[in-house]
Structure 1
Amino acid sequence: MSTPKFSTKFPTTPRLGHYDVVIVGGATSGSSIAWHLQTNAGFHGSILVVERDPSLQFSATKASNNCMRQQFATKINVEIAQYAAAFVKRYGSNFGYDPCVPDDPIRNFGYLYLSDSQSFTEVLQKDQQLQAGCGAGTEIISAEDVKRKYPFFFTGDLDAGSLNTKDEGAFNAIGMVEWMRKSAQESGVDYINNEVVEMVTDGPRIQSVKLRSGESISVNTVVNAAGTRAAQVSRLAGIELPIEARRRYTYIFSVDDPLPQDLPLTIDPTGVHLRSYGSKDYLVGCPPIGPDVAVDVDDFSFAENAWDEKVLPIITRRIPQFNTARVTDSWMGHYEFNTFDHNAIVGAHDTVKNFHFCVGFSGHGSQQAPACGRAVAELIVYGAFKTLDLGALSYSRIPENRPLTERAVI
């Protein structure tokens, strides 16, 4: 896996003893909040981002598969994805070159959901109507059309497909984070290499946070953007979150006879998904072979031989031309999985009013962080959402048991 050029030379101690906003976590979500807040004309305060590992070596950000799609089952997620596409197209030239995303800023080979049953096709048709109502370019195509557009697929078991090639594919997610982080720092945001280990509360507010190095910082607002560690961070304020780390495998592979065209991000009915990576190699990802259960946030081991036992049989059946596939790189990363409804948690706690969340993305953080970071920044500045109402993703839905379930989780 290529190594991002993240600076690891953050100071360990804060410059100030008080900050208007302290953001816990400096990866995709935390840096999006910092960037949107600092560039908001209505904000004139101080910002501290506390990141325990500036290299992001073991973050969900580092393991990102750099994907962009609008094919979701909930309206708010379609709208969030549309802002991500607009954001990347607007600023993508600043993210730096990524050889795996040569058609900067979005490599629009699209997403293709494959259905092997009439019942799942009906689900995809319902989702397509929702997406089309939001202006997405999703189309339901027959198995015959799948074969016509992508003749290398085995389609004998297919009923239909759901395809969108407008603002769907891959983008330089790692470059986006680095750019937001660098831009935020250059405009006055303080980043430190440290860890929040304690929160001091007084009634309905967090008064201060204590760092592992011993410093105590008084705060006006705290934001939890800690990714897979979000539940641990929230417990410092006596709050439980339904977020856990779940294992996901990614392999890069090459073949003797590459396909004559880009391979869209294809979601096989088995749940294995694969796409073009560079110009002549491919990426494939999958959940574990057995039950998809929580793992320790520090466990990045390959617990099973998913390539031989799961991936290879599936990709060679779907694309027989891949029968010479050989792995050239691989990694295991974590989803920050929201077990409540698979959706992000965005905004303030219902009783600890100055504690905000931007967590629980369940594998969609790279593309959802721009809109969610903007939303949290608006809440801090204005006390309300100004551009896109993300109230449906508020924390209050959890204690009130109002899940907004996102079915389209890979």
Structure 2
Amino acid sequence: MSSHVVIAGGGVIGSSIAYFLRASDPTVSVTVIERDPTYAKSSSALSAASIRQQFSTPLSIQMSLFGIDFLRHIGDRLEVDGHKPSIDLHEGGYLFLATPGGEATLRENHALQTRLGANNALHAPHALQAKFHWLNVDDLAAGAYGVSGEGWFDGYGLVQALRKKAQALGARYVAAEVTGIERDGRKITHVQAGNGERYACDTLVNATGAWARRIAAMMGIDIPVYARRRSIFNVSSPARLTNSPLLIDPTGVYFRPEGKTYITGTSPSPDNDPDDLPLDEVDHDLFDEVIWPTLAHRVPQFEALRVENCWSGYYEYNVFDHNAIIGHHPDIDNCIFANGFSGHGLQQGPATGRGVSELILNGRYTTLDLSSLNWDRVLNNRPIVEKNVV
């Protein structure tokens, strides 16, 4: 068992790991090195902050089922000195829409999700129209709606709550950038930080999100995780969409309500998605050429839209198969990677924190088995196929 764990990265993944480690075994020393304690550029703070069970792989569904349970009870779980944090969880549901070409996949995914305990309903076009009267269903074959357990929340609030609880339990947070890693054969011995300090470790965790590739390179490891910019637009409209869920159009364009406005976005085309684009820029062409026309088609009332605000954040994008890489690399005995969540880190953070803490403390997973997400599939070219990549 590790007596001193150093976690590189204090976002939702790193702070979740720190929380579960200290909550499970207070004798373990935990040091979290976070380059930006304001989280101004963190994926956790800049994302659309949502959770769903509508995935196509059993493990992703199970991780999010644990995630929603964690979020529902966050006030009790992460209470500090009588203060119960709130993340404004709104279970408004996801609505995945399918054209005739995607109907079979939607039905197959729905069957798997409900078998594992997700509360989703499958609707024909006429039922969709009855439930969401503002929706254009002319080109649709079906829609899958999360009746409960899916929705959105305050991602920044979640990170802060995890961090504060981990600190209250004894985890030490250091505001510095990891500048070097000392390796002796198959072991990491020390982590160097920009504050001039060296931190000895029995176990190192790479939880640095969009910066995971740089940290891995310091160990001599090549990880297929890149920073991919995603632009989010907050728009206003005279449209009043009753009971609006987080809607995923068959094109991949999404929107959800945000108070009296709406948040919307989509991924750029694969041939126009370079690495490490600056976060202080927003892809306005994507909105004008793809997002707005799609929204106006799906919701005719969205013909009238105005961008009120917009920003960009990074996906820590696993270009291999868009799923997280969690576990040891076979070349290093005492480093655990938790990287490449590809936009799913907030909702999979609690399950990852619990699982990585089990791996560190027990040498194995004792609740949900995350071993299918380990390095073996990457090194042996066996990608996990997730059909609901958003």
TM-score interval, normalised by the smaller of the two chains:
over 0.9
2:283 and 2:249 mapped to 1: Cα distance? 23
Count matched residues. Answer: 383
Q: For residue 49 of structure 2, what is the aligned residue in structure 1?
A: 66
Give yes or no for the alignment of 1:78 onto 2:61.
yes
One-letter amino acid of the structure 2 residue matched with residue 178 of structure 1: Q
Superposed displacement of residue 162, structure 1: 1.4
Match of 2:90 among 87, 90, 107: 107
Residue of structure 1 equivalent to 2:208: 226
Deviations 1:162-194 (A, max 9, x none): 111210111222211101101111221111111
The residue that corresponds to 1:37 in the other structure is 21
**How far off is 1:269 after superposition?**
1.3
Is 1:266 the counterpart of 2:247? The answer is yes
Asked if residue 128 in structure 1 is aligned to residue 110 in structure 2, the reply is yes
In structure 2, give the amino acid aligned to 1:285.
G
Give me the whole-angstrom Cα distance separating, in 2, the residues matched to 1:52 and 1:326: 35
* Pairwise CA distance, 1:153: 0.6
- How far is the alpha carbon of 1:131 from its aligned partner? 0.7
Asked if the contact 1:19/1:48 (under 8 Å) is kept, the reply is no
How many angstroms does 1:27 deviate by? 0.7
- 2:263 aligned partner, one-letter code: L
Structure 2 equivalent of residue 48 of structure 1: 31
Hey, what does 1:26 align to over in structure 2? Answer: 10
Partner secondary structure for residue 250 of structure 1: strand
Aligned to 1:363: 343
Residue of structure 2 in register with 1:174 after alignment: 156
Cα distance in 2 for residues equivalent to 1:294 and 1:402: 24
Cα displacement (A) at 1:138: 2.0
Return the offset for 1:303.
Answer: 4.1
Query: Structure 2 CA distance, aligned partners of 1:116 and 1:406?
Result: 19
Q: Once the two structures are superposed, what CA deviation does each residue of 1:250-288 show, in whole Å capped at 9, x if it has no partner?
A: 1111212422x221111111110011111x221111122
* Residue pair 2:279, 2:312 contacting (<8 A) in 1 also: no
**Pair 1:372 & 2:356 matched:** no
Query: How big is the shift at 1:90?
Result: 1.2
Q: Are 1:349 and 2:342 matched, yes or no?
A: no
Asked if structure 1 preserves the Cα contact closer than 8 Å seen for 2:318 and 2:341, the reply is: yes
Report deviation, 1:133: 1.3
For residues 318 and 166 of structure 1, do their structure 2 counterparts lie closer, same or farther at Cα, with a shift above 3 Å needed?
same
Letter in 2 for 1:353: D
- Distance change in 2, residues 1:290/1:132 (3 Å): closer
In structure 2, distance between residues paired with 1:297 and 1:324: 30
Choose 177-186 or 74-83, whichever is displaced more: 177-186
Deviations 1:78-102 (A, max 9, x none): 000000011011114756456xx4x
What is the 5 A alignment of 1:71-220?
Answer: 71-92=54-75, 96-97=85-86, 101=88, 106-117=89-100, 119-220=101-202
| 8 A Cα contact 2:121 2:147, kept in partner | no
Structure 1 residues 26, 297: closer, same or farther in 2, change over 3 A?
farther
Aligned 8 A contact 2:26 2:169 in 1: no
Displacement of 1:402: 2.0
Is 1:339 aligned with 2:323? Answer: no
Residues of 1 paired with 2:61 and 2:233: CA distance? Answer: 27
Q: Give the match's secondary structure for 1:112.
A: strand
- Name whichever of 289-298 and 308-317 sits farther off: 289-298
What CA distance in whole angstroms lies between the structure 2 residues aligned with 1:257 and 1:297?
A: 33
- Structure 2 CA distance, aligned partners of 1:177 and 1:365? 11
CA deviations 1:123-170 (Å, max 9, x no partner) are: 111111111110112222111111111010111111111111210111
Change (3 A) 1:39 1:383: same
Q: Is the 8 A contact 1:70 1:136 kept in 2?
A: yes
CA distance in 2, matches of 1:198, 1:371: 29
Distance 1:116 1:145 in 2: 15
Letter in 2 for 1:147: Q
Question: Aligned partners of 1:224 and 1:275: how far apart in 2?
Answer: 32
Please give the per-residue CA displacement for 1:10-44, whole angstroms capped at 9, x wherever unaligned: xxxxxxxx97011000111000000010100x451
**Is 1:384 matched with 2:364?**
yes
Distance 1:167 1:258 in 2: 24
Question: What secondary structure sits across from 1:53 in the alignment?
Answer: coil
Following superposition, the deviation at residue 116 of structure 1 comes to 1.4
Q: Which amino acid aligns with 1:23?
A: I
Shift, 1:298, TM fit? 4.7
Query: In the alignment, residue 48 of structure 1 is paired with which amino acid?
Result: T
Q: Report SS of the residue matched to 2:379.
A: coil
Moved more, 31-40 or 394-403: 394-403
